[in-house]
Amino acid sequence: MADDHDAKIEELESAVEAARPGLEAQCEAFVEAAARRLEDFWPDFVRGCVQEARDELAELDDAAVKSLKEAVSAIVAEPQRVARANLMEGRERRWPHLSPLDDLVDEHARSYRGQFSWVGTTAGPRSQMPGEFTEPMEIAAGAPAKPLEDADLPAPGDSWRHNAPSARIKWSEEMEEALRAYAVAAREMFSTCEDLRQARIARDKDRALDRWDEV
């Protein structure tokens, strides 16, 4: 009897895997939107950093100031790299499309209470942006201040976490819409995962009966 379930399970597993490219594209749209928000945010932020460090900068020679300016400019020139580094790298298990199939099935069985809990709230009727990505985005926003911190210069704000400066930043509507679209698509994929979980349970039950009858 157990073999009767194999085709259905294979079909459902293929459906889950087929959803990954679409989710990847939506994740990429979110990262790109975050990069554009950083690009808009950083000019005023950097000016604020320079003003905050005015006394310390006055004590540095031109070569030191130039070196700091180049280090800050190198960060500001790569908003997408900074966005990706903070929102994705090291956080792969937060993103369903990057997670193993069994994790997707198991976490959904716990009603999003695990690593994907943000999907349910972000895709819901009263959707809200997940805290899981709020702090990483603030650290991304504060990235240009890192050379100043490394040089023992002050920077705006008192919020320093994970050995990196951070800055409060309001998400753009483009960011919110992109992440909400991702969450909605992920919720649809999790529905397939639930069907897969039930199919696996049915197969395992029949395997138990088959073994019982065979012995």
The one-letter amino acid code at 101 reads: L
- What's the CA gap between 197 and 67, in Å, rounded? 57
The answer to whether 179 and 30 have CB atoms below 8 angstroms apart is yes
Q: Is the CB of residue 84 less than 8 Å from the CB of residue 90?
A: no
Mean pLDDT of the chain: 88
Kindly indicate the confidence band of residue 1, based on its pLDDT and cuts at 50, 70 and 90. Answer: low
CA gyration radius, the chain:
23
Tell me the average pLDDT across 135-151.
92
Q: How confident is the model at residue 155 (pLDDT cuts 50, 70, 90)?
A: confident
Q: Which domain holds residue 152?
A: 2-214
pLDDT tens track for 32-42: 999 999 999 99
Model pTM score:
0.87
* 115: pLDDT strictly greater than 80: no
Give the pLDDT band of residue 172 (cuts 50, 70, 90). Answer: very high
d(CA 94, CA 28): 15
- Write the pLDDT tens digit of every residue in 59-112: 989 999 999 999 999 999 999 999 999 999 988 888 999 999 998 888 765 655
Instruction: Please give the tally of structural domains in the chain.
Output: 1
